[in-house]
Structure 1
Amino acid sequence: MILRSVSKNVRDQNWFAVGLDFAIVVLGVFLGIQLGNWNEARSERERYAAALDQLAEEIEANREIVAQYRSDYAEPLERVRHALDALSTCAVMAEAEAAVDAGLQAIRGTPGFYPQISAIRDLTEDDALKRLQAPKERRQIQDLRRLIERVDEGSNFVENLPFRNPIEDHPMVGYAGATEDERTRSGFVRRLALNAPLEEACRDEALIEAFYLWERVGGFALRLAAIADETLDTSEAELGF
Structure 2
Amino acid sequence: MPERPVGGSPTIGIVGLGRLGSALRSVCRDHGTRVTLTASRRGGWSVEEVPDVLVDASAPGAHAEVLDYCATHRVPLVACVSNLADTQWKALEGLAEKVPVVRATNLSFAHYLQVRIAEFTAALTAGGPGATTTVRERHPLGKAHRPSATALALADTWARASGRAVADVADERAGLPVSEHELTHTWDGESLHVRHHVGSWTVPARGALAAAGWARAASPGLVTMRTVYGDLTARSTT
TM-score calculated relative to the size of structure 2: 0.20
Structure (1 or 2) with the greater strand fraction: 2
Structure of larger gyration radius: 1
TM-score calculated relative to the size of structure 1: 0.20
